[in-house]
Amino acid sequence: MNGQGGGRPPLIIGLGGTVRAGSSTERALVCSLRAAEALGAETRLFGGEFLARLPMFDPRTGGPTPEQTELVETIREADGIIVGSPGYHGSISGVVKNALDTLEATAGDELPYFHGRPVGAVVTASGWQAAGTTLSALRAIIHAMRGWPTPFGAALNSTAGLFDDTGACRDPKDAWALTTVAEQVVEFARMRSRT
């Protein structure tokens, strides 16, 4: 991790979505990243288009692909991360899990995985049951990867349509939830940089 020496803005990475660019999950991540930018953070999205190109993680193969290297190196530099997943059958999607598995490349680092960094969780699902179980699964994974899950995680029910044509949340409660995740990631990243 690079840290925020010299007063540079925190780098917050959005990771997730589905292989369909512009999915509800990706739109939710974009909303959270915009909120982080409004707080002065720099952001970068690894969304659906990227996830579709990311090869299946296989530790037996030779060297990493350019996509795997790009993801790993950017996460190493991140001050905070927001992970977004759709709720598929009560848990996170395969493409999000593959991206997280790819970070096994950091296992030998001094600060592996998400070590010590704030990680926000954003879930979109068709129904509250899948949203809740997926959020719980994602938070458990963040713990396993040594990250600090933010106290608040956003679980959005996509059955009624979450976003308008401009990508804004239709429901103010959803906008609040996505903004709260971003605020906590940015705040904790700044607090950590001062220690």
Q: Over the stretch 30-80, which tens digit does the pLDDT of each residue have?
A: 999 999 999 999 999 999 999 999 999 988 877 799 999 999 999 999 999
| Residue 14 neighbours by CB under 8 Å, 6+ apart | 29, 30, 32, 33, 43, 44, 45, 46, 47, 81, 82, 84
- Distance, in Å, from the CA atom of 101 to the CA atom of 31, rounded to the nearest integer, reads 25
- For tokens 């996170």, name the residue: 92
What's the pLDDT tens digit per position in 79-135? 999 999 999 988 999 999 999 999 999 999 999 999 999 999 999 998 899 999 999
Q: Which amino acid is at 180?
A: T
Torsion angle of C-alpha atoms 127, 128, 131, 132, degrees rounded to 10:
-160
Contact predicate 43/22, CB 8 Å: no
Query: Tokens 């803005």 label which residue?
Result: 9
Cα–Cα dist 55/8, whole Å: 33
- CA dist 19 and 16 (Å) reads 9
Domain that holds residue 133: 5-193
Q: Using one digit for the tens of pLDDT, what is the confidence trace for 15-25?
A: 999 888 778 99
Q: Which helix (H) or strand (E) holds 51?
A: helix 48-53
Write out the two tokens for 64: 């990493």
Half-sphere exposure in the Cβ direction for 100 (13 Å, CA)? 26
State the total domains in the chain: 1
CATH number at residue 89: 3.40.50.360
pTM to 2 decimals? 0.93
